[in-house]
Amino acid sequence: MNPKEEFLEKSSLKAADITHRNKLRFNISKYLAGVEEGKKQYTDLELARRKAHAVKWKTIESLDNYLMEFERNFLRNGGQILWAKDAEEARNLILGIIEKHNGRTVVKSKSMATEEIELNDALEAKGIEVSETDLGEFIVQLAGEKPYHIVTPAMHKSKEDVAQLFHEKLGTPEDNTPEQLTMAAREALREKYIRADIGITGANFIVADVGGIAITENEGNARLSTTFPKVHIALAGIERVLPSIHDLALFWPLLATYGTGQKLTVYNTLFTGPAKDSEAGGPEEMYVILMDNGRSDILADVQLRQVMHCIRCGACLNVCPVYKTIGGHTYGQTYSGPIGSVISPHFAGKEKAGHLSFASSLCGACTETCPVKIDLHNLLLYNRNLLNNDGYAGSMEKRVWKWWRKAMLKRSLMNMASGKMKNYMFKKIFAKSWGKDRDAIIFPNTSFNQQWKKQHGKAS
Ligand code: SF4
């Protein structure tokens, strides 16, 4: 099965899985209610979004300058900067640092960039123990799964699922409450923090003027992951830059509101290099790895460039009818939902992920919700155009659409095919993509136009 066929097969199964859909509906409804509350902190939300769009636009248009400014300032703070052109280089750099420090144990806070390079697999292959410390990530790691959502990795699990999982893996009672489950995870992780040689994080924002990385979280696990270990490695996509520390006043609340429905997440930390002499805790060495991995190609495309504004809040996933029907794992890529469907074909290649650009109803809900105003649904159309110009659509499909266009432009051609013929063609062409669980469209024997003519004696 090729990736597209696999996607269609899995989508069809997930769409018919009512239990899965109920869990998603429940979790997303709680999120949506929270977002409405979070938005109340703004007197002019639209202005905040427009400002955020403008700041990101300015940053991305001069990305090279801001990255160099960050590098200069971070080096001055005593940190070390490494540049990775792709996933392999990023993995090797991280492995190199860990080897240099004889690291055997790693604690990690939530980071989609590390998911993008499949870091855990690479570390485990070298015999390095990796522990995810974010509760959602801890749950999916325990279940042997990938994160399901950019912000809420275990969104597809109910509290009963988690209680069962903890019972099987950690030996806790099957009927533990969410509070008891959280305590069990905390208990399991406490010793990992203390033992860890290396702490790995992502970066929500790279702050150029102070030479620091900003991390936003709710559990304090990123702070713990960077306080105990002697070495802190942060992996960040090059697009995460903000020009100034002052921009955090706009972006931290915006990310919290759209990411989790909070006014501000509980812990917001700016890491500016290793611990100073005057500081009691913190790492002796801090590395920031600035990763390209396909981002420069996106940057080079003037129309597509705006996806680099993304702050990974996950809001577009939560409003997307496709995501809400098929769920995160079905996409088969690190980034799912509308933003994933736009960037994955460029990150993973058109063979692996090109079909995702077509996995959208183009309803525009993603564009409407995006806090930094990325024109997501039009970018999906743009991707489709790029792919088709690149020969993505097969000759059969092209012929069908050519014929379709001709027929749609000429009433006599449209009326030529009988209902029987239309039903036959529909089944033939959409046999796979329509899915088994949807009722097929039944075309009537005569078109509306023909019926009208019959009743009124003239064309409609
Ligand atoms: S595209 Fe917009 S809504 Fe989607 S994750 Fe990025 S910032 Fe959030």
372-390 confidence digits (pLDDT tens): 999 999 999 999 999 988 8
DSSP 269-319: EEE-SSPPTT-SSS-SEEEEEEE-TTHHHHHHSTTGGGGGG-----HHHHH
CB distance 122 to ligand 1 below 6 Å = no
- CA 345 – ligand 1 centroid, Å: 17
Residue 434 has a pLDDT of 77
Q: Label residue 459 by pLDDT band (50, 70, 90).
A: low
**Mutation test of ligand 1: which of 252, 367, 372 has the most ligand atoms closer than 8 Å to its C-beta?**
372
Mind listing the pLDDT tens digit for each residue in 426-449?
A: 888 777 777 777 788 888 988 888
Structure-block tokens of residue 231: 């070495």
Four-way CATH pick for 64-295: 3.40.50.10420, 3.10.310.40, 3.20.20.70, 3.10.20.340: 3.40.50.10420
| Mean per-residue pLDDT over the chain, rounded | 94
Whether residue 125 has pLDDT greater than 60: yes
Is 55 in contact with 248 (CB distance < 8 Å)? Answer: no
Whether 23 is in the pocket of ligand 1, judged by its Cβ within 6 Å, is no
Sheet holding 241-242, edge to edge: 241-242, 205-207, 212-217, 267-271
Q: Is 78 helix (H, G, I), strand (E, B) or coil?
A: coil
Residue type, 235: L
Give the nearest ligand 1 atom to 315 CA. 3
Q: How far is the CA of 218 from the centre of ligand 1 (A)?
A: 19
Of 93-97, 155-159, 406-410, the one with minimum mean pLDDT is 406-410
Which is the closest atom of ligand 1 to the Cα of 311? 7
Sole residue written with tokens 């110009």: 389
Query: Among all chains, which residue has been given the structure tokens 């806070």?
Result: 109
Please tell me the number of Cα atoms within 13 Å of 409 on its side-chain side.
6
What single DSSP character describes residue 46? H
For residue 460, the model assigns a pLDDT of 53
- Order of strands across the sheet that contains 129-132: 80-84, 285-291, 231-237, 198-201, 105-108, 129-132
**Residue at token pair 């743009």:** 382
Distance 199 CA to ligand 1 centre (A): 27
348 lines ligand 1 (CB under 6 A): no
Enumerate the CATH 3.40.50.10420 domain ranges in the chain, comma separated. Answer: 64-295
Among the residue ranges 179-183, 403-407, 412-416, 452-456, the one predicted with the least confidence is: 412-416
58, containing H or E segment? helix 45-61
For 297-346, the pLDDT digits (tens) are 999 999 999 999 999 999 999 999 999 999 999 999 999 999 999 999 99
CA–CA distance, 265 with 260 (Å, rounded to integer):
8
DSSP bridge partners of 162: none
| pLDDT of 404 above 90 | no
| Cβ–Cβ < 8 Å for 139, 170 | no
Distances in whole angstroms, Cα of residue 152 to Cα of each of 32, 42, 62, 378: 13, 24, 31, 26
312 Cβ below 6 A of ligand 1: yes
Residue 1 has pLDDT above 90, yes or no: no
pLDDT tens profile 15-64:
999 999 999 999 999 999 999 999 999 999 999 999 999 999 999 999 99
- At residue 386, the pLDDT reads 94
Regarding the beta carbon of 254 and ligand 1, being less than 6 Å apart is answered no
State CA 175 to chain mean position distance: 32
| Integer Cα distance of 84 and 272 in angstroms | 20
Confidence of residue 394 (pLDDT cuts 50, 70, 90): confident
Confidence at residue 71, expressed as pLDDT on a 0 to 100 scale:
98
pLDDT of residue 165: 97
Q: What is the pTM of this model?
A: 0.91
Contact 272, 216 (CB under 8 A): no
Task: Say what the alpha-carbon torsion angle 10, 11, 17, 21 is, to the nearest 10 degrees.
Answer: 130
102: left (phi over 0), alpha (psi -120 to 50) or beta: left
Q: What average pLDDT does this structure show over 163-181? A: 96
Model pLDDT for residues 61-116, shown as the tens digit of each residue: 999 999 999 999 999 999 999 999 999 999 999 999 999 999 999 999 999 999 99
Which residue do the tokens 């769409």 mark? 15
> Higher pLDDT residue, 104 or 278?
104
Distance CA(345)–CA(263), nearest Å, equals 33
Burial of residue 414 (CB within 10 Å: 0-12, 13-18, 19+) is: middle
Distance 323 CA to ligand 1 centre (A): 14
